[in-house]
Chains A and B, each alone.
Chain A
Amino acid sequence: MSSSDGLQVRSLGAAWGSAPVLTDVDLDVAEGEFVVLMGPNGSGKTTLLRCLVGLETPTTGTISLRGKVLDRIPTHRRGIGMLFQEPALFPHRTVWENVAYGLAVARRPRAEVDRRVADMLELLHLQPLADRAPDALSGGERQRVALARTLAPEPALVLLDEPFASVDAEIRRDLRSAFRRALSATRTAALHVTHDREEGLVLADRVVLLSEGRILQDGPPAKVYAAPASAESARFLGYNVVEEDGGTFAVAPSDVEIRPPGPGTHSGVVTLSGFAGANQLLEISLDDGTGIECRLPIGSRPPTVGETVGVRWGRSVPLPTRAA
């Protein structure tokens, strides 16, 4: 990516008082790319977005977009759209007026505003709701209006701060595809924040893992998942992290096998056993104190809580030493 393309973040730092929130963050988002920023709660994801859009002031580092350094540019002149967890629609304006807001602020010609708003409403299937007030919309409809409003002024980059967190699972599924389709159709670069790893892996062209304010790993979803760079990354991606033969390994829960205790297995006690829909979920505490999650196919006889079992795994991914 050349320096004039997309977003470039270099050595970004931020702090609340003396407590660091972000440390030495480097991040690129290319034009039209959909990057997902994943990390546990409190890892600094939202702070990073707020620094990018200018709602917080970084303590160190540089942010540039399309070759232009943004550090001294206020929020309203950055050309970065942001979608919050709550849709934040203006309650005193209709859907149409909400979507037109950014265009009106930019003093675009009336005909262009009308055309652009109509396009956005059509893209997100909102035409029948154009004259409604926000409080007459469902949660999913509000988020679609919020995205239409964000995309209408054609921002160079859209930041999505867990926009599906406050809607239920079924609506979340519809919104995911609607958002991805709309962003692809408008060829808008996006940085999407989530702590839902499945959502992140499904949506992303590239995922970035963030923990305690530092970037752990960055790459295409399949590559990142196949080769977690650290124990922390592995844990966030849903792996068990185990020590074996002096090394540290990531083991997917579906690769854990339950056997009778004996040679070639790790002994442990079942602490949780329950039906988890598509499979049977077990949590096992190994004798060395390591906790292991295991998913067994439905139909197999699950061990009961308190039962001592033998555990072994088929595949495992070696992790860098000392990372655990």
Chain B
Amino acid sequence: MTGRFDGTIPLLPVVAFVAAFAIVPAALLLATGTVGLGGLSGLVRLAADPLNRQALENSLLQGGASAAAAVAVGAPAGVFLGRYTFRGRSELLAVLIVPFLLPTLAVVLGVETIFGTGGVVSSVIPGTRVLGSGFGGIVAANVLYNAPVVTLLTAVGVESSSPALEETVATLGGGPFATFRDGWGRPAALGAAAGAVLTFLFSALAFAGPLLLCGAKCYTVEARIWSLDQVLLSPAAAAGLAVLLIGLLALPAAAYLALVARLRAARRSSDRPARPVPWGRPWVWPFAAATLVLGLSVAALLLAVLDAAARPAAPGAGEFSAFMQLFGPSVTSRLGVSTLAATANTVFFATVATALALLFAIATGFGLSARPGAARALRALVFAPLVVSPVVLSFALSQFWRPVFGGSSTVGVLILLAQATLAIPFALPAVEVALRRVPANLRESAQTLGQSPWPAYLDVELPLVRDGLVTAGLFAFALSFGEFTATYFLATPTFTTLPIELYRLEGVREPALAAAVAGLLVLVSLVAFLVIVRGGRRVEF
């Protein structure tokens, strides 16, 4: 038995968009790759190539090590933040999203600044230099980027556990371990597992870290595909490797979606009351310490990048001189594009991609109000481009749509499409989760008062999810603003963005100028973060 409004039509735009600009091109690319290499035997030969095998192993090793380390660091902090309230808790929860909003290149630069040669920490503790480059550096960057996400998801799990169940365990004589085992332990593990799998996925697909911190011997499959297509000009091999990449990540991606679905189902059923930190219990201290370490790491990362950006561009020059030089003619002559133009490109792409992602999120929210059962399938669909990976996505877009669009603005259109496709998986949940908290009878009341479904949605529900829309918009904007991998694959000099400028400045050995660009990117992320946290907004995954 269903209501009269069907809800299918508002879901179609996002389905059509993701299908047209991600799924179908990727599928065709994969089919081309498989056929072009001579089927399964060709893929086996491709996997046996030493460099390809190394890339596959790197993806698995870097992904696995990063996931384990991110859980070790992030999960205890998530338990602490999920179970207890204390002054500054909501701010800390909000701060944790900052690394995720940062461009990956800025995180990589931060790792170099902290642990690299002459780094802030490595000059005091030489043993930490192992985290400044190579495998250690890649894992450190992945952990800094992802451990906060593990913390947030673990906290969501803990918050979803039933306080009544814990109280029942206690009244039946159960101590802290029994409360953990029969109460909050399972949902916490669910959140931590979701965080671990997500970390694995993002780390196995890492691009900037292997490129800048290690080089070809540490390339992940993602970086290897880029190298095959863009450097070695072997698109057929790149397409074949994309098939292997998707085969490698399909299972973890499905596991992540299943874990998040369970986490969301648990979250709906609970509203955990505030509980102060029991400082008198010794077992709480390690959790508090883990939280402190994580908070300090995030702060150190931001300060390191901003400090590097503020340093003089050359000996004798003043502080912040790199920023001045950045907008001067020397950068334009070295890179063939001005920083102002790169900034304009970045703002333009991020704004349009965000607008698209928000429009899809709004339409989808309306459709899901009538077809809530479609949420899971839709989530899987919009998440697919992340698994397909930014490099494969842009590769596929380029192969499939470049001939169709033609003209000089094709690259710009492709960058927009790629950025929007990669922003949608993050914008959609923020709006969807906010809408789910609006009681259905508000919309139904509006309808019984004569309002038709779409105006009732705009008039009654959307104003109540303003926070969700702001969060979704800023999250999408920050991610698009710092997007490097897909954009770098597609861009020509005319369409250079700030992250690409950062990468190229590193390449031409202008670390001070690169740091200044990273500083700019971090500042934008921080502004997005500050607006998100106003009013206690939280980012949803």
Identify the A interface with B (CB < 8 A). 14-16, 21, 47, 53-57, 59, 74-82, 84, 86, 88, 90-92, 101-102, 105-106, 146, 149-150, 153
Contact = CB atoms under 8 A, between A and B. Distances in A.
Contacts, number: 85
Contact of B450 (A47, A55, A106): A106
Task: Give the bracket for the number of chain B residues in contact with chain A.
Answer: 20 to 34
Nearest to A14: B1
B1 A59 contact: yes
Contacts of A106: 450
Given A57-B1, A82-B445, A153-B449, 10 more contacts: A16-B1, A54-B4, A74-B452, A75-B4, A76-B456, A88-B439, A101-B451, A102-B449, A102-B450, A102-B451
A55 B443 CA distance: 11
Interface of B: 1-5, 439, 441-442, 444-453, 455-456, 460, 463-464
Contacts of A78: 448
B439 A149 contact: no
Contacts of B450: 76-77, 79, 102, 105-106, 153
Nearest to B456: A76
B5 A15 contact: no
B4 A86 contact: no
Nearest to A56: B1
With most chain B CB atoms within 10 A of its CB, the pick from A16, A21, A55 is A55
A101 B464 contact: no
A150 B446 CA distance: 10
A80 B444 CA distance: 12
Contacts of B456: 76
Contacts of A57: 1-4
A76 B445 contact: no
User: Of residues B2, B442, B447, B464, which shows the largest number of chain A Cβ atoms within 10 Å of its Cβ?
Assistant: B447
B447 A86 contact: no
B463 A88 contact: no
A15 B376 CA distance: 25
A82 B440 CA distance: 14
B448 A53 contact: yes
A165 to B, nearest CB: 13
A150 B449 contact: yes
A21 B4 contact: no
B3 A150 contact: no
17 contacts: A54-B3, A55-B4, A56-B1, A56-B3, A57-B4, A74-B452, A74-B453, A75-B444, A82-B444, A82-B445, A82-B448, A84-B441, A90-B460, A91-B464, A101-B446, A101-B451, A146-B445
A184 to B, nearest CB: 21
A76 B444 contact: no
Contacts of B1: 14-16, 21, 47, 56-57, 59
Contacts of A75: 3-4, 444, 447-448
Contacts of A102: 449-451
B5 A92 contact: no
Contacts of B439: 86, 88
A57 B455 CA distance: 21
A150 B450 CA distance: 10
